[in-house]
């Protein structure tokens, strides 16, 4: 089995470190300190003593409003939610502000968003908790203390109102931006499909002409043609037909909505098609190509897998700087996933550039004199991710590069 890519672990570590720094900045901006944590923990026993009363009052309040009561009509739901709510608010007083805390809070927010709970009601729920704990847990019940408490709660109410209105503005702006982006995407897709349909005929017409001229040449001069010339003409005819079929497949993949449905794809056929397209360059450069004896069947899209494989092969051929050149294709099955590798003996990639090679128009400084747009690896990444897979690279300068494609494995035996 191919070992798990080292850069994946590094990426996870980098992400965890970035999340930790972000949490640290949040706590610093709010001035939440270890002293605050101790004060909150001292309140926990007082809240626990009144937690049942709080849960009852909390859900009575929710039932008073149609927007929240409609979410509580399922049998048994309220009792389950009461227990979850008590645990949720008790954990606030535990004051353990770590990654697990952040993850739990975000999952709670995600659940409420999926249920359609608007931010104003979410903030209102927190006010219920806040006023309950202040009324029941803080000492002092004199007239002055009561008046000060009520004044403070009035301030909290208006602060929550202000926060809710501000969040409304944020969400409105985000929604408008998203809608504008979706409109642009829809228009771009519509224009692209229209363009693909209109240009297919123009692309296929000269291919048909080439194929017909090849047929005429063989029919007219076949007996007088040297065998080598005849083979070249027939190869040109077969290439024209393959290109015509490829255009049909690309067009179908671009405009057929069913192309997004994962299918069982014989990966060997997809890679073999890509290899045949690269055969002239491989022969011209004298590059040895090693392929596996068996290929698995994967879930995905044949056209996209073929184009991704072609891009990786083309990239390897383009940058190999040794003679003889060598490209090794390998396959490893790891549980429900299948991992393809395109390894070359080229110049390699500096470690700091590995993640950047998939950025559009990004080219390594050492390759800027080579032809190309800097889009091949970017397209490859998108083609594979559209199929539920992933792409990454591993390399050491001077020791070649390995590009990996990982896709879900189909339940069909290996062919």
For the ranges 157-161, 272-276, 386-390, 408-412, the maximum mean pLDDT occurs at 272-276
Answer whether residue 338 shows pLDDT above 90.
yes
Q: Which of 270, 338, 258 is nearest to 298 (CA)?
A: 338
Q: In this structure, is residue 399 part of a structural domain?
A: yes
User: Is residue 246 predicted with pLDDT exceeding 70?
Assistant: no
pLDDT at 126 over 50: yes
Compute the distance between CA of residue 136 and CA of residue 265 in angstroms, rounded to an integer.
64
Question: Among 99, 120, 138, where does a domain finish?
Answer: 138
Which among 309, 300, 305 has a CA at the least distance from the CA of 260?
300
Whether 129 is covered by a domain: the verdict is yes
231 and 267, same domain (yes or no): no
What stretches of 50-76 show up as alpha helix (H) in DSSP? 51-63, 66-69
Beta bridge partners of 329: 342
Q: Which domain holds residue 245?
A: 187-259
Can you give the CATH number for the domain in which 293 is found? 3.30.565.10
Element (H, E) at 382: helix 376-385
The pLDDT-based confidence of 374 (bands split at 50, 70, 90) is: low
* pLDDT of 194: 61
| CA–CA gap between residue 37 and residue 50 (Å, rounded) | 21
Tell me if 147 is assigned to some domain.
no
- pLDDT averaged over every residue in the chain: 78
Q: What is the pLDDT of residue 27?
A: 84
Q: Assess if residue 389 is contained within a domain.
A: yes
Question: Quick one: 27 and 86 in the same domain?
Answer: yes
Q: Look up the CATH number of the domain holding residue 45.
A: 1.10.490.10
pLDDT tens across 59-74, in order?
A: 888 888 877 777 776 6
Total residue count of the chain as it appears in this document: 415
Which of these, 61, 79, 63, lies nearest to 71 by C-alpha position?
63
User: Into how many domains does the chain fold?
Assistant: 3
Residues 291 and 402 grouped into a single domain: yes
Global model pTM greater than 0.75 = no
Same domain, yes or no, for 398 and 292?
yes
Identify whether the C-beta of residue 173 lies closer than 8 Å to the C-beta of residue 184: no
* Interatomic CA distance for residues 414 and 297, integer angstroms: 6
């Amino acid at each position: 089995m191919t070992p798990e890519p080292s850069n994946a672990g590094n990426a996870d570590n980098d992400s965890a470190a970035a999340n930790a720094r972000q949490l640290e900045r949040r706590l610093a901006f709010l001035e939440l300190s270890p002293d605050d944590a101790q004060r909150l923990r001292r309140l926990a026993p007082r809240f626990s003593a009144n937690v049942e009363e709080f849960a009852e009052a909390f859900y009575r309040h929710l039932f008073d409003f149609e927007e929240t009561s409609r979410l509580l009509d399922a049998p048994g739901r309220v009792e389950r939610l009461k227990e979850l709510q008590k645990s949720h608010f008790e954990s606030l007083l535990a004051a353990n502000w770590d990654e697990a805390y952040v993850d739990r809070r975000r999952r709670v927010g995600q659940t409420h968003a999926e249920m359609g709970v608007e931010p104003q009601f979410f903030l209102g729920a927190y006010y219920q908790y806040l006023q309950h704990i202040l009324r029941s847990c803080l000492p002092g019940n004199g007239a002055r203390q009561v008046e000060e408490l009520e004044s403070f709660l009035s301030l909290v109410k208006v602060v929550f109102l202000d926060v809710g209105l501000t969040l409304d503005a944020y969400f409105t702006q985000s929604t408008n931006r998203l809608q504008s982006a979706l409109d642009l995407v829809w228009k771009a897709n519509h224009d692209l499909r229209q363009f693909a349909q209109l240009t297919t005929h123009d692309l296929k017409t000269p291919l048909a002409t080439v194929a017909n001229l090849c047929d005429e040449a063989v029919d007219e001069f076949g007996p007088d043609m040297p065998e080598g010339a005849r083979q070249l003409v027939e190869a040109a005819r077969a290439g024209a037909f393959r290109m015509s079929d490829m255009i049909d497949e690309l067009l179908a993949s671009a405009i057929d909505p069913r192309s997004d449905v994962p299918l069982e794809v014989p990966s060997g056929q997809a890679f073999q098609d890509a290899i045949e397209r690269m055969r002239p360059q491989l022969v011209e450069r004298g590059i040895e190509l090693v392929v596996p004896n068996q290929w698995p069947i994967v879930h995905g899209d044949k056209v996209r897998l073929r184009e991704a494989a072609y891009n990786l092969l083309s990239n390897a051929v383009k940058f190999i700087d040794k003679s003889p050149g060598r490209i090794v294709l390998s396959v490893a099955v790891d549980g429900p996933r299948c991992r393809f590798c395109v390894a070359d003996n080229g110049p390699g990639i500096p470690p700091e550039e590995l993640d950047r090679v998939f950025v559009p128009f990004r080219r390594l400084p050492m390759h800027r004199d080579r032809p190309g747009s800097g889009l091949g690896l970017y397209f490859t990444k998108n083609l594979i991710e559209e199929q539920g897979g992933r792409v990454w690279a591993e390399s050491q300068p001077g020791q070649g590069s390995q590009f990996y494609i990982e896709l879900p494995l189909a339940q069909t035996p290996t062919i």
